[in-house]
Structure 1
Amino acid sequence: MDELPIGRRVAYWRARRKMSQQLFADQIGKSKSWVDKVERGVRRLDKFSVLYEIADVLRIDVQLLCGEMHRQPDSVNCVDQVEVEEIRAALENYDQVVAFFEPPHVDEVELDELRKAVWHAWASFQHAKYGMVARSLPKLLRDAQSADAAYDEGMVTVTDTGARVNAAHLLAQTYQIAASVMRKLGEHELGWLAADRAIGVSHRAGDPLLAGVATTRVANAMLALGRTRPALDLNVQVAHRLAPSSDKEATPARLSVYGQLLLQGAMAAARGGDLATSRDLLRAADEAAERLGRDANHYWTVFGPTNVALHRACAAVELGEHGTAIGTHEGLDPEAFAALLPERRAHHLVDVCRAYTQTGDLDTASELLVEADRLAPSEIRCRPHAHEVMTGVLRRRHGSPTGPLAELADHLGVAV
């Protein structure tokens, strides 16, 4: 963004705020033609009064508008507070209550389009495109809420039971996407709200596996807020309910959701310092992964043998067993690891970076951070957790960091 002409920066932030040229022009008291010329670089912006007015309407710092702000946390890969508030507003929507008084219109095509949008949001999240997902979430949430309200049996008379279930299923998935993104961005209260909503809607969808995955989102939000024991208990309780009791029940989807619950329980136990429980849950997850046979992505869990190994390494870091974490990482099958989605790989590299940092191998820790940024920039540049890990590496180094690490620190706005 720094190298862009100021007109291009105006166009970028105007589009990001979802303003048309006409609406933007009206708000700053100019013509649409004037705005168009500024954005194309035909007309110069050389009055401070106009620059400040534009920055105020776009709700950004005037230095950011002028390209003079060195740190840019609001880059194209990340989400700013204005966009977080838009997601909050969408989560505060209650179309089902309104539907009591004004039944919404049912449109089959909209449900098909919604399914495509939800799939695209999941895929974007797992490729660590957090900014893209977050900026699409307000509309996606409103559309999914409206569709669910339209098809909800308690609100209007709809004979198509399948459509009713599908609408609820899509809304539950949308809430889970919101919970996952908010967790990545450090908005844990919003993440908890979205995940809690997902559980309720999953029950209406009549899908225990969907409810099981939603449980992991709630537990993750609890864990992020320091509620370690409730997070552990919730994961374990639901895992026991979903444990396959026969070969017939041991479908790939069920094994994946069951295994994911075990993994999240293991992480909660590790965060609480409960070594024995963490190991027991990881062992059970290993067994589920062996029955599954290979890494898969049922219910967007990315569950399988490799993901179990990644969680074993992360649990070891939480427990202070840094040698175990490094050994697990170095023992990964390179091909299986490379086949995982970018979000999983980058997340793991940040986890293991902590282990190398604690053992004093700062060169390897630095290399892992740079590699994680190459794989999934948003996982490094948008997550508060990654900033903390970067700061830890830089503080322990003696002398200047390597060129790639210094460049990354500069992008993150972390002092070298």
Structure 2
Amino acid sequence: MMSQQVFADRLGKSKAWVDKVERGVRRLDKFSVVYDIAEVLQVDVEALLGNDAERRPEMLNCIDQVEVEEIRAALERYDQMSAFCQEPPPSPPLAELRKAVCYAWLRYQHAKYVDLARSLPKLLRDAQGADSAYANGQEASVAAHLLGQVYQIASSVLRKVGEHELSWLAADRSIAVSQRAGDQLLSGRASHRVASALLSLGRVRPALDVNVNIANRLAVSSQDRAQERLSVYGMLLLNGAMAAARIGHSATVRDLIAGAEEAAQELGGGQDDYWTSFGPINVQLHRAAAAVELGDGRSAVECHERLDQEKLSAILPERRARHYLDIARGYTQVGDIEKASEMLLEGDRLAPSEIRCRPLAHEVLSEVLRRTRGTPPAPIAELAEQMGVGL
């Protein structure tokens, strides 16, 4: 049994503060404090808040608000500032942190969003702690590089589940940290994440400008690390094409995709440099997605039908499932609801979280159900029930 004084000391609060909380005189109105309490007591935040019973059964495979708030609390920490005034807290060895970051990337690329979301708060705190602990040493750039990656992972996951403001914050943090790491390409990848968050927020013109401006800078930079540079450059162009499509600039879409296609041909086969999965097949997936954004579902479907299925099957699950979601939208645009349903089910089979946890997928499924004549097929009805989408 932990005494009030020991608990207060570990929490960094006074005994009087703990006593008031226990007696209900003082409310816990900051999630960061709740998280610290859970950490000291070594219990899950959900158990501490008693939120397990409130979770809807059909949403257990998705990130819920408790998990989002845990990530928010980790993003709100400013341990780097306190390091100026006192000795930084212990941090994991960089080799151990590097393994954890690599594993987090793998989970993201396989659309394991729930597992990733539950591990992200600790990974963020560990990476922030390492960045502080090694700030003045020879490994400062390594620690900053790892923290920059973790911010990018957090940004990507948060955008997937519709937390666009938090996604923007995490991506913006990554730019500053990546610059400290001295890695222009990591910074370019962070810019890509910022642009994606801006696009999700409806800030289309800034998203287009960020992608094109940074791509242009990379195009005239030193040709060192040419392969990696081409991968990041190409993805910026593709992301810019998606922004241009959102505002109906078809000529800009064609130009940007053509530039990315040229880079992909120079690069050769698909690469995962800086977690881009960039290559000829990814260019074609973006061509289809841009057509959907332009409202040209027929071109998107034709592009999908021309794909080399063997090469498509080699793409990582998250990217493939995202493509199936795009093509489901394309099929709804041409009125082929049966095919749209097939694409949703194929995406769900491949990477359930990419379909069940994304607000966009909920919108597409709602449209499919609305336009289905009579009773929907059993697999679609079952998916709708699991996703909480009304029939």
Give the shorter-chain TM-score range: 0.7 to 0.9
Indicate which of 62, 69, 72 corresponds to 1:85: 69
Superposed structure 1 runs of 4+ greater than 2 Å apart: 17-20, 22-25, 54-58
Contact 1:96 1:149 in 2 (8 A): yes
CA distance in 1, matches of 2:130, 2:42: 29
Contact 1:192 1:218 in 2 (8 A): yes
Query: What residue number does 2:293 align with?
Result: 318
Are 2:207 and 1:231 aligned? yes
**How much has 1:19 moved relative to structure 2?**
7.0
Q: 1:89 to 1:294 in 2, by over 3 A?
A: same
Contact 1:322 1:355 in 2 (8 A): yes
State the secondary structure of the residue aligned to 2:376.
coil
Query: What residue number does 2:88 align with?
Result: 104
Q: Deviations over 1:367-391 (max 9, x none)?
A: 1100100000000111111111100
CA distance in 2, matches of 1:125, 1:101: 36
**How much has 1:358 moved relative to structure 2?**
1.4
CA distance in 1, matches of 2:338, 2:349: 17
Q: Deviations over 1:258-313 (max 9, x none)?
A: 00000000000001111111110000000000001011100001100000100000
Indicate which of 196, 210, 219 corresponds to 2:186: 210
**How much has 1:244 moved relative to structure 2?**
5.4
State the secondary structure of the residue aligned to 2:97.
helix
Q: 1:58 to 1:321 in 2, by over 3 A?
A: same
Q: 1:250 to 1:55 in 2, by over 3 A?
A: closer
Query: What residue number does 2:219 align with?
Result: 243
Query: What residue number does 1:382 align with?
Result: 357
Query: What residue number does 1:165 align with?
Result: 141
Are 2:70 and 1:94 aligned? no
CA distance in 1, matches of 2:49, 2:171: 33
Indicate which of 281, 296, 314 corresponds to 1:339: 314
Contact 1:244 1:255 in 2 (8 A): no
Where do 5+ consecutive residues of structure 1 fail to align? 1-16, 28-53
Q: 1:171 to 1:245 in 2, by over 3 A?
A: closer
CA distance in 1, matches of 2:77, 2:120: 13
CA distance in 1, matches of 2:354, 2:89: 39
Q: Deviations over 1:53-96 (max 9, x none)?
A: x988421445x5xxxx6x522x1x31111111110010011111
Q: Deviations over 1:312-344 (max 9, x none)?
A: 000000001111100100011101100000000
Contact 2:296 2:333 in 1 (8 A): no
**How much has 1:126 moved relative to structure 2?**
0.4
Contact 2:289 2:300 in 1 (8 A): yes
Indicate which of 112, 115, 122 corresponds to 1:139: 122
Are 2:229 and 1:254 aligned? yes
Q: How does 1:281-292 map onto structure 2 within 5 Å?
A: 281-292=256-267
Counterpart residue identity of residue 135, structure 1: R
Indicate which of 392, 397, 401 corresponds to 2:376: 401
CA distance in 2, matches of 1:137, 1:368: 30
CA distance in 2, matches of 1:179, 1:105: 25
Counterpart residue identity of residue 241, structure 2: A
CA distance in 1, matches of 2:177, 2:209: 22
CA distance in 2, matches of 1:212, 1:375: 30
Counterpart residue identity of residue 346, structure 1: A
Are 2:112 and 1:129 aligned? yes
**How much has 1:250 moved relative to structure 2?**
6.6
State the secondary structure of the residue aligned to 2:58.
coil
CA distance in 2, matches of 1:235, 1:170: 23
Are 2:253 and 1:295 aligned? no
CA distance in 2, matches of 1:106, 1:83: 25
**How much has 1:413 moved relative to structure 2?**
1.1
Give aligned-pair identity as a percent. 59
Count the aligned residue pairs.
355
Contact 2:245 2:290 in 1 (8 A): yes
CA distance in 1, matches of 2:384, 2:304: 24
Query: What residue number does 2:8 align with?
Result: none
Contact 1:55 1:61 in 2 (8 A): no
Q: Deviations over 1:9-38 (max 9, x none)?
A: xxxxxxxx9979x9779x9xxxxxxxxxxx
Counterpart residue identity of residue 98, structure 1: S
Query: What residue number does 1:48 align with?
Result: none
State the secondary structure of the residue aligned to 2:196.
helix
CA distance in 2, matches of 1:180, 1:84: 13
Counterpart residue identity of residue 372, structure 1: G
Are 2:140 and 1:148 aligned? no
Are 2:126 and 1:182 aligned? no
CA distance in 1, matches of 2:132, 2:38: 28
CA distance in 1, matches of 2:49, 2:87: 36
CA distance in 2, matches of 1:207, 1:374: 37
